[in-house]
Amino acid sequence: MTAIDVNPGLLMIAAGLLACLLPRVGRQLLTLGTPVAGLLLLIATPMGALTTLPIFGYDLTLLRLDGLAFPFGIIFLIAAFLNAIFALHQDDRLQDSAVMIYGGAAVGAVLAGDLASLFIYWELTAVSSVFLILASRTERAYSAAMRYLVWQIGSGVLLLAGILLHYQETGSMAFTTITLGSVGSWAIFLAFGIKCAFPLLHNWVQDAYPEATITGTVALSAFTTKLAVYAFARSFAGEELLIPIGVVMTCFPVFFAVIENDLRRVLAFSLNNQLGFMLVGIGIGSEIAINGAVSHAFAHIIYKSLLFMSMGAVLYRTGTVKASELGGLYKSMPLTTIFCIIGALSIAGFPLTSGFVTKNLTLTGAEYAGYFWIWLLLIFASAGVMEHSGIKIPFFAFFSHDGGHRVKEAPVNMLIAMGIAAGACIFIGIFPQTLYSILPYEVTKSPYSVQSVVTKTQLLTFSIIAFGVLIRAGLYPKEIPSTNLNTDWLYRHVGRYFVGVLAYMARWAWAGVCGGWRATLGAAHGLIRRHYGPDGAMGSAWPTGQMAFWATVMIAAYSLIGFWYLL
């Protein structure tokens, strides 16, 4: 192991641990400086680097750098840096420390080369990120955090079981291609699936992310789910099952996003939709589709962070992100408005933005592979993205009816973070080669053909026109303060009744048992009271005396068992 071959994830984790001991300025220097140091370290590490550590007769692969790990490592470190700038206004030891450990664990995981290391980092992302939800310090956030933790640890336990079975079946602990078939491979697949918010396993995202702190949500949106995308790309590239799963994920959240009132929750639904695009690319598995998935993840982390930052800024200034209470903020927060619109255009995939040059690769992958229905549904989902992230977010927060908030523009540090992110969205859109050059496979074609620019713009523009028609005709649904049920209803409502019924039955059974044995229990109680009660022989002894007595009894019992065993 040379000095340079250190996993930058470990650097981040170490800095995170150190941060909780430092005063505010020290923590700020660490949160800003460590991602930069990590980036330099990662760039300086030669491609193909492999560092192993033999332990207990088994090789841990601490660092493996290849074409797939590199772009994910880079973007995670960039996300950590942007998040650090965005969080400079706050003085929260817990969050400063947790967010670095969380980001570090994500970086560590993508650069780890064996499943045991993956598991450790996988769990660390869960355990560290939950503090970003808890840090809201409300009852509501606490409950959401506990539910989030159950899902995350559930994924971890499943992953551990899968890894052990997989090791037993194949004798390999390498974090590489896994073929679906054995029980172990399915367990690993599902563990990744929970973290990637598969349909029906998705709702922890919408449940927990909107309850996290203003800065915490930005970090959460970047790391956990994209780590799962990386894991799928690493182990299940070309697994066709991912195509229908991904397509469902692109389509169903759009209907929920239309009617959701909490704008950070709208973004959380949008997150699932985006993950779907990536999974479809991974499922198709061709070079162009994998490039599509990886570049989409890269661009997505930036524009999604940007959108969550803009809504965070709104929440910070107005105290709410409910569409029904907002509107007209463009007057008081003009820069935030502009940055949010750039994020919205990017996620919708307008030409000259990062969304266009990345999502296009996945769509082209579907075209080349001849998947007509998949392609059609992805186009449909693109119109859906336009609806909830492209129009709804900026429109209801910054325009629409004036919500009456007269607030200041976002703090400078937030504006800088949003400005850098917005700049990156446009830079990647105009110079896609900069991103293409770090993808796993070579990209030969420019995304900017006349046809693709015209057709995508037509699709999106006529979506906007449809919005105009509906809103002018008064047919667009009003924003209503509400809770929309989702799969969490099963455990938050039905589950609670179920537990209630169980408790009732347990009480009933207990009463039955006690009723029948009352006489016997009464006698036992009397016996105990006689010896241990205020007047009992044992009751008058000192606790140390009792301890000595019972220790003697136990030693005697052990001796007897021991002798009996020897004989």
Partner 1 sequence: MSDKTPKDGEPGWFERKRNIDKVWYVLLVFGAILTASEFLYEHHPHFAIEEIPVFYEIFGFLAFVFIVFAGKALRKLIMRDEDYYDRD
CA distances from 102 to 95, 131, 462, 502 (A): 10, 10, 41, 37
Residue of 36, 459, 538, 541 that binds partner 1 (CB under 8 A): 459
Please report the DSSP string for 206-228 in residue order: HHHGGGS-HHHHHHHHHSHHHHH
Give the binding-site size for partner 1 (rule: CB under 8 A): 55
Residue of 177, 455, 552, 559 that binds partner 1 (CB under 8 A): 455
Residue of 3, 47, 475, 519 that binds partner 1 (CB under 8 A): 475
Residue of 492, 532, 536, 538 that binds partner 1 (CB under 8 A): 492
- Based on the shown chain and the rule CB under 8 A, indicate whether residue 335 belongs to the binding site for partner 1: no
Tokens found for residue 390 = 């492209």
List binders of partner 1 among 383-402 (CB under 8 A): 383-384, 386-387, 399, 402
Residue of 24, 331, 445, 525 that binds partner 1 (CB under 8 A): 331
Span near partner 1 by CB under 8 A; candidates 90-98, 285-293, 408-416, 454-462: 454-462
List binders of partner 1 among 126-155 (CB under 8 A): 140
Tokens found for residue 438 = 């770090």
Distance CA 555, CA 221 (A): 56
3-state SS string for 271-314: HHHHHHHHHHHHHHCCHHHHHHHHHHHHHHHHHHHHHHHHHHHH
Which sign, positive or negative, has the C-alpha torsion 198, 150, 182, 61?
positive
- Based on the shown chain and the rule CB under 8 A, indicate whether residue 466 belongs to the binding site for partner 1: yes
Nearest residue (CB) to partner 1, 258 versus 538:
258
CA distances from 198 to 32, 104, 201, 275 (A): 33, 24, 5, 9
Residue of 406, 507, 530, 531 that binds partner 1 (CB under 8 A): 406
Distance CA 265, CA 279 (A): 21
Nearest residue (CB) to partner 1, 380 versus 427:
380
Tokens found for residue 516 = 């029948």
Residue of 22, 32, 258, 541 that binds partner 1 (CB under 8 A): 258
Contact letters (x/-) for partner 1, 201-240, by CB under 8 A? ----------------------------------------
- Based on the shown chain and the rule CB under 8 A, indicate whether residue 445 belongs to the binding site for partner 1: no
Shortest spacing between CB 209 and partner 1, in angstroms: 16
Nearest residue (CB) to partner 1, 495 versus 516:
495
Residue of 254, 288, 294, 347 that binds partner 1 (CB under 8 A): 254
Shortest spacing between CB 398 and partner 1, in angstroms: 9
Q: Are 429 and 357 in contact (CB under 8 A)?
A: yes
Q: Are 135 and 219 in contact (CB under 8 A)?
A: no
∠ CA 246-251-255, nearest 5°, is 145
Distance CA 302, CA 87 (A): 16
Span near partner 1 by CB under 8 A; candidates 55-63, 108-116, 228-236, 324-332: 324-332
Distance CA 522, CA 115 (A): 56
Tokens found for residue 497 = 């009744």
Q: Are 312 and 328 in contact (CB under 8 A)?
A: no
Residue of 480, 527, 551, 557 that binds partner 1 (CB under 8 A): 480
Helix H or strand E encompassing 52:
strand 50-55
Contact letters (x/-) for partner 1, 493-532, by CB under 8 A? x---------------------------------------
Contact letters (x/-) for partner 1, 338-367, by CB under 8 A? -----------------------------x
Distance CA 281, CA 294 (A): 9
- Based on the shown chain and the rule CB under 8 A, indicate whether residue 328 belongs to the binding site for partner 1: yes
At 455, the amino acid letter reads: T
Span near partner 1 by CB under 8 A; candidates 75-83, 343-351, 368-376, 517-525: 368-376
Nearest to 321 by CA among 250, 217, 477, 474: 217
Residues that bind partner 1 (CB under 8 A): 140, 254-256, 258-259, 328, 330-331, 367-368, 370, 372, 375-376, 379-380, 383-384, 386-387, 399, 402, 406, 450-451, 454-468, 470, 472, 475-477, 480-486, 492-493
